Structures are given as structure tokens and as C-alpha cells.
Chain A
Amino acid sequence: MKHLRRPTVLIGAGLVGVWVLVALFAPFLAPFDPLKSLTPLASPGAPAPGGGTFWLGTDLLGRDILSRLIYGARPVVALSTLATLTAYTVGVSAGLLAGYYGRWIDTGLSFLANVILSFPVLVLYIVVIVALGPSPINVVIAVTFASAPAVFRIVRTIAADLKQRDFIAAAVIQGESAWRILFIEILPNATGPLTVDFCLRLGYTTIIIGALGFLGLGLPPPAPDWGGMVNEGRALAFAFPHLVIFPCLAISSLVLGLSLLADGLNEARDAQARGS
């Protein structure tokens, strides 16, 4: 545990923690209603009619940017987490089976994973969205679809390697059931790399969801969406940079936090293995 007290982990966890709390307590933290139009294009720090301050200014339709940022954390955090969790469920199950049993199961699942991985993510997403229509659930489905094969590959490699170890052979010789071998002998030994990957994948998913919002393919307006905010403010960014800078900083800081956390956890794991 002492290995976890390193700057990368602490800073990363801090950043992520802040945004999670913001998402959870949005209604208590946001100074204004994110959908309410007040003073259009107010500068950061300008006073609001009826009291309060537009700390980060307002957008084209007069909505407080800070409040939209705060509320915008909700879909980002919720959808990224949900998408990554479902991707993990699918990827881990398939990966364990493919890595442990090998042969046909492995060939078939790996081929399927490669097919899906042949799609650039956004292309895949566009195909799905055009077919199914934009909505939060479809975002989760599409991103799960795109991420699960990557998780599958990692888990499969780990499972195939662990399978070679003698303690797995011992379990087989004792007549242990395959289910218990997969989930009790193999999986716990993969939690190290998987935890690190989970954090990274949360980050990538967040980037994708941001990009979808930017392309106008994410949540329909007027819902606050960081990527969407950048898209809306782009035309006026020359004169009103606050329209786009703050959402960009928001999403970058969240992903940075996740990347630092992943890196820190990985270093901690190495340090622990070395016994230093």
C-alpha cells in the first residue's frame, strides 16, 4: 500500500475524484440552471442579472458555462464508466475462455475481435448511430462494441500465459472445475495489469465520447455535453475563446487524471514486485 503513495497516483486520483464528485453533486455545485438562457456571450467573471457571477462566462444562448461544465460531467462520467464496464464484462469473459481453452474458441473469438478492431472507432460508431439513431444507450452500445475486443485481447494473452504456470496444472490435476480455475486461479492474477488498463480505457472512452459530442453525434441538444460545447462555440472562438477553452480543459484534465492514475498504479505494481 505504501507504494500507492506516489505523486502520479495521488494527482491522478485527485483529478478523477474531483470530477466524479462534481458529477455526483452537480445540482448542489452549479450556480445556475444549465439550460436557462440568461445573458448571451458574457465574459468570464461578469455579473449575472439577479445576482451571482458567470465565473466562466456564458455561451451563445446565454447559458452559464460553469454550470454546463458541471452538469456536463455527468454524462461523461456515467457513460464512460458504463461503457467501459460493459466492455470489460464482455472482454474479460471472452478473453478468459479464449485464452484458457484455446484452439477453436480462441481462433473464432480472436477472428471476431480482429474484425471489429479493423474498424476505426469513429467509423464504427458512425455506422451504428446512423443505423440506430443517437441516444445515450446507443453511445454505450457502440463504444462497448468498439472497446470490448481490445480488452478481450489483453485478457486472452494474460490467460494463455498464466495457463502455462504450474499452479494451474496443479488445479487441473486436483480435478478443479474449469469455472473456478478461470475466476479464482487465473483472474485474480490478472487484476494488476487489468486495473491499469481499466483506467486507461476509461480515458480513451472519455476521449471518444468527447469527440462524438464534438461531431454532433452524441447527446442531442440542449443537454450539456463538453464536446458539443466546443462544437457550438467554434465559430465564435476567435472573439470569445472562453466558449471553447474551458470545455477543452475540463475533458483534458479528466483524461489526464485517468492516465496519471494508470501510470502510477503500474509503477506501484512494478515497485511492489521488485520488493523495494
Chain B
Amino acid sequence: MTFEPPILSVKSLSVALPPGADRPYAIHDISLDLRPAEILCIVGESGSGKSILSSTLMGALPRGLAIQSGGLKLHDQALGDIDLTAQSERAWRDIRGRRIAMIPQEPMAALNPSAKVGRQIEEVFAIHGRLAPQRRQRGARRAEAIRLIQEMHLPDPERIAASYPHQLSGGQCQRICIAMALALNPDVLIADEPTTALDVTSQAQVLKLICELRDVHRQAVLFITHDLGVVADIADRIAVMEKGRLVEIGSAQDILKRPAQAYTQALIAAVPSFEPKPRPPAPNVKPGHCLEVEGLSKTYGRTRALKPANLTVERATTLAVVGESGSGKSTLARLLVRLIEPSAGSALVNGHDLARLRGAALQHARRRIQMIFQDPFGSLNPRRSVGATIARAAELAGCTRQEAQNRAKTLLQRVGLSAAAYGRRPAAFSGGQRQRVGIARALAMRPDVLIADESVSALDVSVQAQVLNLLRELQLELGLTIVFITHDLRVAAQISDRVAVMRSGEIVELADTASVILHPQHPYTRALIGAAPGRGAI
């Protein structure tokens, strides 16, 4: 924390939404200051207006939106305060990239797919007329781009500079984007959810890099995120936004340890804790293995997506399967529900080997194991009412049409929606509500096992907590066995009895939750836990 004058000051800023939107303002009456060499994290859930705020600060609001009132000033050593609300587009072009730069959310999509990344970094110099390529200095831009890539701790910078974005990983692309942002040493860096699309290990590296930017280059960083773990790790100060308003702002310590506002308190409480809690077993459950997997594997041509896997899950317990992208956890999930054909092995659900059955026997056995999906928008047929979707599942399980409709209505209520929701189409519901519909649909077949494939990853943290609680209630009530696929160790810590850690197609560690989280054995597990943000603070 410094006591220098703020480099960016926002006073009572409001941006109006066009008429017909669900609220009159995108952001309303926002006031905050950003100082050099500090990281200010803006935390909010979806619809909080944090992205609009970042667009406003870059003078890049979408068409139809404009600053309605309030002040936005950029402090310049020589010129004093520049009023950013009154700048022409031409003036903004000079400011963008040179004084204020942005680090985007989806790094690979944010890079031009048909230009080499080195050239894209060089372009920043070209746009702002720096390092003009005169005859002697022809290589100056290129050399500087390579130096920047090196500063990002990327090995073999020449080769990286000559690569196209699709030839690099997400984490590498993000570091290129950071290099681009850093090129002209701007005063302010706006990072809009820069690590949301990255694996947890890439995320840790990028976060470390951003902290370096603050420490070494003394940049003022405005870091927008929904992930409180990340905030706990890197923030100097925190601002909490909800529905376009600033709820609370203060030092990281104050906000995290002594939140004043109810919304902030609820938000922090909803974050799953790393401390595994004791989980009482479900009552009235016959002990034994519900799911037994032996030697299950999948090979595509030469790639081994899943090496022979062995695991068992006790009835009415939850197994979390944790891994980064490419670990094989999704393949495992899809094999378990026989969405793809296994190359070898067996998967027994209460004695029935789903991996080997065919025809009518397979059809009949399918009802024992069902899945809830990640994307609330793609998991329901948009042309059908949610009631019909759930009822169809019940019909396939053997109900008559009338029975199926009744069961659908009952399930809708059980998951927290009203029976009147039966006739509505998915578009009428929010993301969290659609996930509840997905749960109702899965339960319509009265399965023994439920596979949740990243089912809360696309949800806001408060909605996520509700859905996880719902699943726990259902588990206790129905004796459900749950296999929960996730990349989020916190979720795994909170909701599971046992954890399987996967990497490159194999299970590297499988033990009860407390052991895995608190005393990890495998080096990869240790690395994964080490990289998880905010571990001590929240």
C-alpha cells in the first residue's frame, strides 16, 4: 500500500442501460481510487456490473451504453488530471495501450488467430509510433517483443514469438496478452477475469506474474474476478459489487476478516472451505459398494485418454474426482454413463456392469446411473418445457404418462422450484434454476448413482452453495451415491467423503478427503493444493 496520489479516480460514476433492461443502471454511483503499485480486486457475481466498469475505464463501452454521470480522472505527472469522460475517440486511442492497458478474459480468443504472437506484441509499438523501424532499428521492435516474452518467464522466446495462438496453451497465451499490455509500461492495468479460463497451475503462475508487475513495475492493477480465493491471495484492497452498486471497499484484511455488509458476509460464507468437515453417513443405507470400477480404460487411436482405472464408491457417499483439463476426468465420467464406449474394463453399478451390457439390458440398466452437466444453458432442450423434459425421463424409466407428469411436478418442488414451472421453457429460468431442473431430470429415473460433471463450475458462488446443499440433502434423503467431477479443490473438500486425483489419464491418488487435502502423498497432488489460491486466508 502506498500513500501516493491515486493514478485513477472514479467518482459517482453511473452508466445507464437502454430502456427495457432489468434495471436502469449498469453501474450506479461507483466511487473508488486506484493507486500505483497496488492491486485492487473488484469482486462480484454475474450481473454485478464489474465488466461494464472495466469497459468504462477503457472508454470501450458497447454500443447503446454511455456514461450518464460522475467523474473519471487519470492522473498525469505533467498534464495534471485528464478527464476521461470527455475524451474523443482519437484521444482514447492514444490512452489505450499506452497509459491504460487491458488483460483479457479468454486469452486464446483474444489473439488474432492468423498472426504470429510476436507480431501482435510488436503491433503495440507500431500503433503508438514507438521504436520506429528505421533501417538501423529494423529489429528493434522484434527484439523488444522477445525481451517482453522473456520477462513473462516463457522459455524459448524466439520460438514462441514465431508461433500462432493455437499452437500455444491457454496459460502461454495469457502471458502473451500480459506482455502486450505491458509493452509500453502503462500506469494502469485492468485485468478482467484473466485467470478464469485457465487451469489452476497456470492460474497460479499468472497471478504470480501480476504480483511481479505490481512490485517491479509499480503498476496500478485493477483485478476483476468472482473468485474469492484469488482475491485472498493477491489483493491489497478489495471492492465488492452487487447489481451495479459498490457494496463495500477497503483493505484486503478488513474485507475478508471483518466484512461489514451483509452481502459481503454472505459471499464469503458461501465460499467452500478448505477444511474438510465431518460428514455423518446417510441413515438407513445398506452398507457396501454401490459403484465398482475395474480396469476401465479408453484409447483413441494412439492417445490414451484414460488408463486402466480402479475405484470403488460406498453407497450413499460422495467421491470427488479432481484434475485439470486433459486429466481424463471427463472421459471417466462419460464412460461411467456409457456415453462413450470403453476400450476395456468394467463398471458395476450395484452389480450391473454398464460397460458390457447391450440392447434392452443396457437400456434397462441405464436408469441406475444418471448425469448432471456443467453448462446450464446447453443441458436442457430449449424447445421443450422443463416439465416435459423431466417427465420424459420418468417415462423412459417405466412410468405411465400420468405417473411421469406427477413425478415431474413432485421433483420440481423437491429441488426448490414451484410446480407451476412445469410448463415453462428453459429460457425462463436462471442458470442456477436450470441446474436444479437438471437435477430433477436426473432424479426422475430414481438412479442409484449420480455423476455430476463440473455441475457447479458455471454458477455464481452463492448459487453454487445452494446447489451443493441441495445435492447433500438429496443424498441423505434418497441414499444417493455421487461421483463429483470438478477442478475446484474447495468444492471437493467440502462435499466429498473421498477424493481421487487424476492427471494425464490416470488416478494418481485416491483416499479419504481429509487425507488428500491435509496430507497429500503424490507430488502432483501437493502441487495442485499448493497452487490453489487463497488457502490460508479464506
Q: Determine how close the nearest CB of chain B comes to the CB of A12; give it in whole angstroms.
A: 25
Q: Determine how close the nearest CB of chain A comes to the CB of B338; give it in whole angstroms.
A: 8
Contacts of B338 in A (CB 8 A): 173
Interface readout for A130-173 with B: 1 if CB under 8 Å, 0 if not? 00000000000000000000000000000000000111011011
Nearest-CB residue, chain A, relative to B336: A173
Q: Does A270 interact with chain B (Cβ within 8 Å)?
A: no
Q: What class of interface size applies to chain B in its complex with A?
A: 20 to 34
Interface readout for B415-439 with A: 1 if CB under 8 Å, 0 if not? 0000000000000000000000010
Complex: A276 Cα to B20 Cα, angstroms: 8
- Interface residue ranges of A224-274 to B (CB < 8 Å): none
Complex: A150 Cα to B238 Cα, angstroms: 56
Q: Name the contact of B371 in the complex, choosing from A165, A169, A189, A276 (C-beta under 8 A).
A: A169
Complex: A63 Cα to B361 Cα, angstroms: 72
Q: Does B375 interact with chain A (Cβ within 8 Å)?
A: yes
Complex: A167 Cα to B371 Cα, angstroms: 11
Interface readout for A177-195 with B: 1 if CB under 8 Å, 0 if not? 0000000010011000000
Using known A-B contacts A166-B378, A185-B381, determine if residue A175 contacts B366 with beta carbons closer than 8 Å: yes
Complex: A173 Cα to B396 Cα, angstroms: 11
Q: Does A33 interact with chain B (Cβ within 8 Å)?
A: no
Q: Determine how close the nearest CB of chain B comes to the CB of A250; give it in whole angstroms.
A: 38
- Interface residue ranges of B370-412 to A (CB < 8 Å): 370-371, 373-375, 378-384, 389, 392-393, 396-397
Using known A-B contacts A174-B396, A176-B396, A189-B382, determine if residue A166 contacts B445 with beta carbons closer than 8 Å: no
* CB–CB B371/A175 < 8 A: no
Q: Name the contact of A189 in the complex, choosing from B337, B339, B383 (C-beta under 8 A).
A: B383
* CB–CB A175/B367 < 8 A: yes
Complex: A174 Cα to B393 Cα, angstroms: 6
Q: Determine how close the nearest CB of chain B comes to the CB of A193; give it in whole angstroms.
A: 14
* CB–CB B363/A170 < 8 A: no
Q: Determine how close the nearest CB of chain A comes to the CB of B381; give it in whole angstroms.
A: 5
Contacts of A166 in B (CB 8 A): 373-375, 378-379
Specify the main secondary structure of chain A where it touches its partner: helix
* CB–CB A172/B339 < 8 A: yes
* CB–CB A167/B378 < 8 A: yes
Nearest-CB residue, chain A, relative to B381: A167
Q: Does B441 interact with chain A (Cβ within 8 Å)?
A: yes
* CB–CB A174/B366 < 8 A: yes
Total interface residues on A, CB under 8 Å, equals 14
* CB–CB B363/A175 < 8 A: yes
* CB–CB B396/A170 < 8 A: no
Q: Name the contact of A173 in the complex, choosing from B20, B337, B374, B382 (C-beta under 8 A).
A: B337
* CB–CB A169/B339 < 8 A: yes
Q: Determine how close the nearest CB of chain A comes to the CB of B394; give it in whole angstroms.
A: 10
Q: Determine how close the nearest CB of chain B comes to the CB of A144; give it in whole angstroms.
A: 28
Q: Name the contact of A169 in the complex, choosing from B364, B366, B373 (C-beta under 8 A).
A: B373
Q: Determine how close the nearest CB of chain A comes to the CB of B380; give it in whole angstroms.
A: 5
* CB–CB B396/A175 < 8 A: yes
Contacts of A185 in B (CB 8 A): 381
Complex: A169 Cα to B370 Cα, angstroms: 11
* CB–CB B366/A173 < 8 A: yes
Contacts of A276 in B (CB 8 A): 20
* CB–CB B373/A170 < 8 A: yes
Complex: A169 Cα to B339 Cα, angstroms: 7
Complex: A170 Cα to B339 Cα, angstroms: 9
Which among B363, B367, B370, B383 has the highest number of chain A CB atoms within 10 Å?
A: B383
Contacts of A170 in B (CB 8 A): 371, 373, 379, 438, 441
Using known A-B contacts A165-B378, A166-B378, A167-B378, determine if residue A173 contacts B383 with beta carbons closer than 8 Å: no
Nearest-CB residue, chain B, relative to A186: B381
Contacts of A172 in B (CB 8 A): 339
Contacts of B397 in A (CB 8 A): 174
Q: Determine how close the nearest CB of chain B comes to the CB of A48; give it in whole angstroms.
A: 56
Nearest-CB residue, chain B, relative to A189: B383
Complex: A176 Cα to B392 Cα, angstroms: 9
- Interface residue ranges of B203-250 to A (CB < 8 Å): none
Q: Determine how close the nearest CB of chain A comes to the CB of B434; give it in whole angstroms.
A: 11
Interface readout for A189-203 with B: 1 if CB under 8 Å, 0 if not? 100000000000000
* CB–CB B381/A189 < 8 A: yes
Contacts of B339 in A (CB 8 A): 169, 172-173
Contacts of B363 in A (CB 8 A): 175
* CB–CB A167/B379 < 8 A: yes
Complex: A172 Cα to B382 Cα, angstroms: 17
Which among B381, B396, B397, B445 has the highest number of chain A CB atoms within 10 Å?
A: B381
Q: Determine how close the nearest CB of chain A comes to the CB of B385; give it in whole angstroms.
A: 12
* CB–CB B380/A167 < 8 A: yes
Complex: A178 Cα to B528 Cα, angstroms: 41
Nearest-CB residue, chain B, relative to A276: B20
Q: Determine how close the nearest CB of chain A comes to the CB of B70; give it in whole angstroms.
A: 27
Q: Determine how close the nearest CB of chain A comes to the CB of B395; give it in whole angstroms.
A: 9
Q: Determine how close the nearest CB of chain B comes to the CB of A167; give it in whole angstroms.
A: 5
* CB–CB B375/A188 < 8 A: no
Contacts of B380 in A (CB 8 A): 167
Q: Determine how close the nearest CB of chain B comes to the CB of A22; give it in whole angstroms.
A: 35
Complex: A188 Cα to B425 Cα, angstroms: 14
Other 11 A-B pairs with CB < 8 A, given A170-B379, A175-B364: A165-B378, A166-B379, A167-B379, A169-B371, A170-B441, A173-B339, A175-B367, A185-B381, A188-B383, A189-B381, A276-B20
Q: 3 closest Cβ contacts across the A-B interface?
A: A166-B379, A166-B373, A175-B366
12 contacts between A and B (CB under 8 A): A166-B374, A166-B378, A166-B379, A167-B381, A169-B339, A169-B371, A170-B441, A174-B445, A175-B363, A176-B396, A188-B384, A189-B381
- Residues on B facing A (Cβ under 8 Å): 20, 337-339, 362-364, 366-367, 370-371, 373-375, 378-384, 389, 392-393, 396-397, 438, 441, 445
